[in-house]
Amino acid sequence: MISASGLRKSFGDVEAVRGIDVEVRPGEAFGFLGPNGAGKSSTMRMIAAVSPVSAGTLRIFGLDPATDGPAIRARLGVCPQDDTLDTELTVRDNLYVYGRYFGIPRAEVNQRTDELLEFVQLTEKAKAKVDNLSGGMKRRLTIARSLINRPDILLLDEPTTGLDPQARHVLWDRLFRLKQSGVTLVITTHYMDEAEQLCDRLVVMDKGLIAAEGSPLELIRTHSTREVAELRFGAGEHEGVAAKVEDLGDRVEVLPDRLLVYTHDGEEVIAKVHERGLEPAAVLVRRSTLEDVFLRLTGRTLVD
């Protein structure tokens, strides 16, 4: 569906994307996970055929965005990071007008609008003004709008940024259903839980490069341990304690507010910490996540 090789994007001296290889397969949910500034949006804009490729090759549906932009865009849905809905119009008209703009005949666009309102659970809000919608509803409407042309690929740039947990879960559910219906999803996110929930495969991006690629589970298995023991001590004590516990796990990370001991048995680590007379203010054993993968690969947390 999408194939990139040595793909680069520069803005003057700024190299936003510095040579990445990506292969997105039909029907999968593919993610770009990385912190702000990693180059995710720049990559998405090249895939959306709205930003020229600086170097390398990019093919979407086997087509070259440099020469086949309109043909590519006709088969893509693009859900940008910021809501670009028309606040003057009703919910329904945001879809209807957009569909007409795409040149879809009146009767068809009417039917499609109704289907999409139903799909994003906004039928009851059809006559409401966009300004009266919650953040989650606006996102869902933006997604509905990007589906008006029945795209084969839907590009979603940070789809749930700024939404509360419940609104995020509603959105994830809709995206999951969309994938089940055969639409290929390409998602950028800096939320590791979103990447884990939604993506079949993903690349971890940092500073314009791909640091790792795989399914969430593969990435965790390859780059982290099964469990993590989190230990909180007083401010400024973590460095000192780290030296005393570093033999307890495969690896120890010192964060400003806690120590992470990477291990296959978190409870055993905690027991040994206590045996050594160390008294953490709080402890937690959890499974490894993509956040741990990112920390391992880059030495930084995703939310820095």
Q: What character string, x for contact with ligand ATP (CB under 6 A) and - otherwise, covers 151-170?
A: -------x------------
Residue 261 within binding range of ligand ATP, rule CB under 6 A: no
Q: Cα separation of 302 and 291, whole Å?
A: 6
Considering only residues 36 to 55 of the shown chain, the ones binding ligand ATP according to CB under 6 A are 36-42
- Count CB atoms within 10 A of the CB of residue 19: 15
Task: Give whichever of 40 and 112 is closer to ligand ATP, judged by the CB atom.
Answer: 40
* Stretch near ligand ATP under the rule CB under 6 A, chosen from 31-39, 211-219, 238-246, 262-270: 31-39
Residue with tokens 């999951």: 176
Counting residues that bind ligand ATP (by CB under 6 A) gives 12
- Among candidates 42, 38, 36, which has minimal Cα distance to 11? 42
Task: Give whichever of 27 and 135 is closer to ligand ATP, judged by the CB atom.
Answer: 135
Tokens standing for 34?
A: 């990385």
CB of 10 vs ligand ATP, minimal distance in Å: 9
Backbone angles phi, psi at 21, to 5 degrees: -115, 125
Backbone angles phi, psi at 99, to 5 degrees: -65, -40
Task: Give whichever of 158 and 196 is closer to ligand ATP, judged by the CB atom.
Answer: 158
Beta strands in 236-289 (DSSP E): 251-254, 259-263, 282-287
Q: Cα separation of 101 and 120, whole Å?
A: 21
CB of 215 vs ligand ATP, minimal distance in Å: 21
Q: Cα separation of 256 and 248, whole Å?
A: 20
Residue 16 within binding range of ligand ATP, rule CB under 6 A: yes
* Stretch near ligand ATP under the rule CB under 6 A, chosen from 9-17, 212-220, 221-229, 288-296: 9-17
Residue 160 vs residues 5, 37, 175, 214: alpha-carbon distances, Å: 29, 17, 11, 22
Residue 79 within binding range of ligand ATP, rule CB under 6 A: no
CB of 163 vs ligand ATP, minimal distance in Å: 15
Task: Give whichever of 78 and 259 is closer to ligand ATP, judged by the CB atom.
Answer: 78
Task: Give whichever of 34 and 266 is closer to ligand ATP, judged by the CB atom.
Answer: 34
What's the burial of 42, exposed, middle or buried (CB within 10 Å: 0-12/13-18/19+)? buried
Residue 133 within binding range of ligand ATP, rule CB under 6 A: no
Q: Which residues bind ligand ATP (CB under 6 A)?
A: 11, 14, 16, 34, 36-42, 158
